[in-house]
C-alpha cells in the first residue's frame, strides 16, 4: 500500500474486470459425475484462454470510444439475459489482521441472477491465535 501511495509510483489503483462466459446445461445424464467432468474440462480450457483479457480490453476500448452509458447498457443486457452470475474476488497478497487477529486467507464471492437478490458469501476466513 505504501508503494502505491508514493509519488511517481508505477503501481496502479483500481479493479480490473474480465468476463468469462461459462455455459451451463440441463439434461439428464446416466452418470451424475458427467456434469463435473464436462465442467472441469471447459474450465481448464477457459483458464488458459485469453477470454478474460480480451473481454477486459474490449470493454475498456468501448468505454474510451463510446463512454460509460454504452458499457452500462452492454452490462445490463448481458447480465439481464443470464441465468446465474458468479463473481470470485481474490484476497489480499499482504498479511492482514482482523481486530488484531492475523488471518491467513479471505475471499469474497457473490452469486446472483437477474431476478433474485444478491447472495454474498465469505467462505474462507481463518484466524491464527
Alpha-carbon span 17 to 51, nearest angstrom: 11
Residue for cell digits 487477529? 101
Question: Domain coordinates of the chain in residue numbers?
Answer: 30-81, 84-129
Helical (H) or strand (E) element with 111: strand 101-112
Half-sphere exposure of 71 (CA within 13 A, CB side): 15
The pLDDT value recorded for residue 64 is 94
Residue for cell digits 481474490? 90
Residue for cell digits 463435473? 36
The pLDDT value recorded for residue 108 is 67
Alpha-carbon span 115 to 2, nearest angstrom: 41
Alpha-carbon span 128 to 3, nearest angstrom: 27
Task: Supply 47's cell numbers.
Answer: 483458464
Alpha-carbon span 125 to 114, nearest angstrom: 28
How many residues belong to the chain? Answer: 129
Residues 6+ positions from 62 with CB-CB distance below 8 Å:
70, 71, 74
Alpha-carbon span 107 to 25, nearest angstrom: 27
The pLDDT value recorded for residue 127 is 46
Q: What is the pTM of this model?
A: 0.56
Q: Which tens digits make up the pLDDT trace of 51-98?
A: 888 888 898 899 999 998 998 888 888 877 777 777 666 667 777 777
Amino acid at each position: 500500500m505504501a508503494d502505491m501511495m508514493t509519488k511517481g509510483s508505477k503501481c496502479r489503483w483500481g479493479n480490473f474486470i474480465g468476463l468469462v462466459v461459462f455455459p451451463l446445461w440441463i439434461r439428464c445424464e446416466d452418470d451424475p459425475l458427467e456434469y463435473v467432468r464436462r465442467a472441469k474440462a471447459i474450465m481448464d480450457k477457459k483458464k488458459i484462454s485469453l477470454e478474460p483479457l480480451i473481454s477486459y480490453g474490449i470493454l475498456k476500448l468501448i468505454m474510451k470510444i463510446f463512454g460509460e452509458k454504452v458499457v452500462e447498457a452492454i452490462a445490463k443486457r448481458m447480465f439481464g439475459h443470464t441465468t446465474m452470475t458468479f463473481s470470485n474476488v481474490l484476497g489480499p497478497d499482504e498479511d492482514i489482521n482482523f481486530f488484531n487477529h492475523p488471518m491467513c486467507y479471505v475471499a469474497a464471492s457473490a452469486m446472483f441472477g437477474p431476478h433474485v437478490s444478491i447472495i454474498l458469501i465469505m467462505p474462507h476466513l481463518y484466524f491464527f491465535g
